[in-house]
Structure 1
Amino acid sequence: MSSTSNTTASNESRRRLRDLLPNLHLGYWRPGPLNSLTDVPGVLVHTQEIFADDGAVNTGVTSILPRTNWFHNACYAGIFSFNGSGEMTGSHWINETGLLHSPIVITNSFSVGAAYQGIYEYTIKAQGVAKGNVDWFLLPVVAETFDGYLNDLTQFVIKPEHIVKGLESVTSDRVREGNVGGGTGMICHYFKGGTGSSSRLVDGFDSKGEAKTYTVGALVQANYGRPQHFRIAGVPVGRILAQEADEAAKSNPAIKMAYDALEKEKNRKDGSIIVIIATDAPLSPIQLQRLAKRATVGISRVGGYGHNPSGDIFLAFSTGNEIPVQSVSMERRAVDPFKPTPITVDLVDDTTINGLFEAAADATEESIYNALCMAETMVGNQGHKIEALPLERVKEIMERYA
Structure 2
Amino acid sequence: TNTLSVPTAANALISYTLDKAGNEDVRSVNAVVGETNDGYLNDIRGRHITEKHVLDAISSAESGQVEEGNVGAGTGTRCFGYKGGIGTASRVVPEKFGGYTVGVLVQSNFGGVFQFNGIPVAKILNNYPNSFKYDVDGSCMMVVITDAPLDARNLERLAKRAMLGLARTGGIASNGSGDYVIAVSVAKQNAGNSASDELVQKKSLLKNEAMSPLFLACIEATEEAIYNSLFTAESMSGRDGNNLEKIPIKKIIELVKNSKNNKSIKD
TM-score (norm. length: structure 1): 0.61
1:297-312 aligned at under 5 Å gives the runs: 297-312=164-179
From the CA coordinates, give the structure whose radius of gyration is larger. Answer: 1
1:260-295 deviation digits (Å, cap 9, x = unpaired) = xx999x824441001100111111111110000000
Answering whether residue 157 of structure 2 is matched by residue 290 of structure 1, we say yes
Deviations for 1:329-380, whole angstroms, at most 9, x for unmatched residues? xxxxx548xxxx2211111111121110000000000000000000000011
Identity of paired residues, percent?
Answer: 39
- Structure 2: how far apart are the matches of 1:374 and 1:268? 23
User: What amino acid is the match of 1:280?
Assistant: D
Distance across 2 between alignment mates of 1:135 and 1:195: 33
Report the counterpart of residue 124 of structure 2 in structure 1.
240
| Cα pair 1:190 1:225 within 8 Å, conserved | yes
5+ residue gaps, structure 2: 261-267
Residue aligning to 1:125? 19
Tell me the equivalent position of 1:363. Answer: 221
Q: CA deviation at 1:195?
A: 0.4
Q: Does 1:322 align with 2:180?
A: no
- C-alpha distance in 2, partners of 1:268/1:374? 23
State the SS of the aligned residue for 2:64: coil
How far has the Cα of 1:204 moved from its partner?
3.6
Normalising by structure 2, report the TM-score: 0.90
Q: Of residues 137, 142, 153 in structure 1, which corresponds to 2:44?
A: 153
Q: Contact between 1:122 and 1:163, CA under 8 Å: does it hold in 2?
A: no
Q: Does structure 1 residue 165 correspond to structure 2 residue 56? A: yes
The amino acid that maps onto 2:109 is: N
The alpha carbon displacement at 1:325 in A equals 6.3
Matched letter for residue 14 of structure 2: Y
Quick check: 1:108 aligned with 2:9?
Answer: no
CA distance in 1: counterparts of 2:174 and 2:143, whole angstroms? 20
Alignment map for 1:244-259 (pairs within 5 Å): none
Number of equivalent positions: 258
Secondary structure, counterpart of 2:148 in structure 1: coil
Q: Is 1:191 equivalent to 2:82 in the alignment? A: yes
Q: Of the candidates 115, 140, 153, which is equivalent to residue 231 of structure 1?
A: 115
Give, in whole Å, the separation in 2 of the partners of 1:231 and 1:212.
32
Instruction: Give 2:173's aligned amino acid.
Output: G
Would you say the 8 A contact 2:136–2:174 is kept in 1? no
Q: CA deviation at 1:322?
A: 3.2
CA distance in 1, matches of 2:212, 2:136: 35
**Could you say which residue in structure 1 is the equivalent of 2:141?**
274
When structure 1 is superposed on structure 2, of 182-191 and 270-279 the one drifting more is 270-279
| Aligned-partner SS, 1:348 | coil
One-letter amino acid of the structure 1 residue matched with residue 33 of structure 2: V
The one-letter code sitting in structure 2 at the alignment partner of 1:298 is G
Deviations along 1:163-202, one digit per CA (max 9) or x if unpaired, are 1111111111222111111111000000000100000010
1:142-176 alpha-carbon deviations (Å, 9 max, x no partner):
01001101010122110111111111111112221
Q: Aligned partners of 1:305, 1:380: CA distance in 2, in Å?
A: 26
Structure 2 residue 212 is matched with structure 1 residue 354: yes
2:239 equivalent to 1:381: yes
Q: CA RMSD in A?
A: 2.2
Look up the equivalent residue of 1:218 and give its one-letter code: V
Q: Write the letter of the residue equivalent to 1:352.
A: A
